[in-house]
């Protein structure tokens, strides 16, 4: 092993919403000796918040913290939406993202934020995915949830359900399917197989329950097949996630947020990872929210965050191998 091989990936880890479980799980991950063997974790957040969390939930203080705000723990109303907490969480993400773009860290991992808290501050916010894509000046991006061999990417994400049909297009399906295939290949799978969910019940029932399958989805899949991508569907969404079907595929393309999130979280809630595909940086995240109901009680599960950190390190090493 060369000296270069022993250099640990630098992971920028944001604190999440101070009123939620983010600070707890972040300090526990940053002081986990097993994770320290695979990555150098750099926490981005308010130093007083991180210190308070470390004193309560970790056996030592994190070794690397980048201060991104001055919010004090004694001003935080734990378990409730709050504009100051929303802004502090957002600032951590903005600064961490810019540092990864500048090469000061190798990947970005985010703890959960509360969308309402940010919006209470008068700052429009629909989610990490859209904010980080904007900071990266990236227009072709997609969300993916993953756990082991279960991967779900989304044609649409944080929009009202009534807007979904109008947001689905052949070009968008093609873009997200290609991003999903690239992500699967990046994990070492040479010939990915992808399944696609229909939009309507019973996959439209030949047009009697909706025309999107015939008019948009199937033509997009034909183009993808012509490009050499192994992709099947559209499948009725209510049977796509049963084991005997999903086991045949390395990735699933969902048409909208809850179509993929509900079955994914039923199958892998405690270890799921949220990734943003198409960015110029590596970004992963937990697959859960701020959990205000258990915030600062020491009972939050770190499994999803640990999985996100491990996946980020895998992708960093994979990227280095590609460009070596």
pLDDT in tens, 10-53: 999 999 999 999 999 999 999 999 999 999 999 999 999 999 99
pTM: 0.86
Domain at 192, CATH number: 3.40.718.10
Asked whether the beta carbons of 148 and 292 are under 8 A apart, the reply is no
**How many structural domains are present in the chain?**
2
Query: In the chain, pLDDT over 90 holds for what percent of residues?
Result: 86
Cα separation, 262 vs 258, whole angstroms: 5
Cα separation, 8 vs 263, whole angstroms: 35
- Are 17 and 71 part of one and the same domain? yes
pLDDT in the model for residue 271: 84
Element (H, E) at 266: helix 257-268
Strand spans (E) along 198-301: 230-235, 251-254, 273-277, 283-286
Domain range enclosing 109: 1-138+279-324
Q: Cα–Cα–Cα angle for 278, 114, 43, nearest 5°? A: 70
pLDDT in the model for residue 6: 60
Cα separation, 204 vs 210, whole angstroms: 5
- Are 246 and 177 part of one and the same domain? yes
- Are 122 and 149 part of one and the same domain? no
DSSP type of residue 9: P
pLDDT in the model for residue 318: 72
Q: Which residue has the higher pLDDT, 252 or 186?
A: 252
* Mean pLDDT for the chain overall: 93
pLDDT in the model for residue 270: 78
Q: Indicate if the pLDDT at residue 5 is higher than 50.
A: no
- Are 130 and 161 part of one and the same domain? no
- Are 170 and 87 part of one and the same domain? no
- Are 202 and 128 part of one and the same domain? no
- Are 164 and 203 part of one and the same domain? yes
pLDDT in the model for residue 315: 87
Quote the tokens at residue 222. Answer: 């034909």
- Are 50 and 164 part of one and the same domain? no
Question: CB count, 10 Å around CB of 153?
Answer: 25
pLDDT in the model for residue 1: 31
How would residue 322 be classed by pLDDT, with cut points 50, 70 and 90?
Answer: very low
- Are 110 and 224 part of one and the same domain? no
pLDDT in the model for residue 108: 98
Q: What pLDDT digit, counting tens, does each position of 117-135 carry?
A: 999 999 999 889 899 999 9
Query: In the chain, pLDDT over 70 holds for what percent of residues?
Result: 96
Determine the 3-state secondary structure of 231 from DSSP.
Answer: strand
Q: Indicate if the pLDDT at residue 2 is higher than 50.
A: no
Q: What pLDDT digit, counting tens, does each position of 257-294 carry?
A: 999 999 999 998 778 899 999 999 999 999 899 999 99
Residues whose CB falls within 8 Å of the CB of residue 6, separated by 6 or more in sequence, listed in order: none
Question: Of 108-112, 173-177, 274-278, where does mean pLDDT reach its minimum?
Answer: 274-278
pLDDT in the model for residue 269: 79
- Are 245 and 258 part of one and the same domain? yes
How would residue 319 be classed by pLDDT, with cut points 50, 70 and 90?
Answer: low
- Are 131 and 155 part of one and the same domain? no
The number of residues in the chain equals 324
- Are 60 and 118 part of one and the same domain? yes
* Cis previous bond, 314, omega within 30: no
Determine the 3-state secondary structure of 317 from DSSP.
Answer: helix
Q: Indicate if the pLDDT at residue 324 is higher than 50.
A: no
Element (H, E) at 146: strand 142-147
pLDDT in the model for residue 317: 83
Q: Indicate if the pLDDT at residue 147 is higher than 60.
A: yes
Alpha-carbon dihedral sign for residues 127, 128, 132, 133? negative
């Amino acid at each position: 092993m060369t000296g270069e091989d022993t250099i640990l990936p630098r992971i920028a880890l944001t604190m999440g919403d101070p009123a939620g479980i983010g600070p707890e799980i972040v300090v526990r991950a940053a002081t986990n000796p097993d994770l320290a063997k695979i990555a150098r974790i750099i926490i981005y957040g308010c130093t007083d918040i991180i210190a308070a969390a470390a004193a309560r939930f970790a056996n030592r203080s994190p070794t690397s913290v980048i201060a991104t705000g001055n919010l004090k723990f004694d001003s935080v109303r734990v378990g409730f939406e709050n504009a100051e907490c929303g802004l502090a969480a957002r600032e951590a993400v903005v600064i961490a993202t810019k540092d990864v773009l500048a090469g000061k860290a190798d990947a970005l991992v985010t703890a959960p934020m509360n969308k309402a808290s940010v919006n209470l501050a008068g700052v429009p916010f629909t989610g990490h995915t859209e904010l980080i894509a904007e900071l990266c000046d990236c227009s072709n991006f997609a969300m993916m949830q993953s756990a082991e061999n279960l991967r779900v990417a989304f044609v649409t994400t944080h929009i009202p359900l009534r807007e979904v049909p109008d947001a689905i297009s052949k070009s968008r399906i093609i873009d997200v399917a290609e991003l999903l295939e690239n992500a699967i290949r990046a994990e070492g799978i040479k010939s990915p197989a992808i399944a696609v969910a229909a939009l309507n019940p019973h996959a439209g029932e030949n047009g009697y329950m909706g025309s999107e399958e015939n008019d948009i989805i199937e033509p997009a899949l034909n183009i993808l097949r012509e490009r050499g991508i192994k992709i099947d569907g559209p499948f009725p969404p209510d049977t796509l996630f049963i084991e005997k079907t999903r086991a045949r595929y390395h990735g699933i393309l969902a048409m909208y947020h809850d179509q993929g999130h509900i079955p994914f979280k039923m199958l892998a809630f405690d270890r799921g990872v949220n990734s943003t595909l198409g960015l110029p940086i590596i970004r992963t995240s937990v697959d859960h929210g701020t959990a205000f109901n258990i915030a600062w009680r020491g009972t939050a599960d770190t499994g999803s965050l640990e999985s996100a950190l491990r996946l980020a390190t895998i992708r960093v090493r994979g990227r280095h191998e590609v460009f070596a």
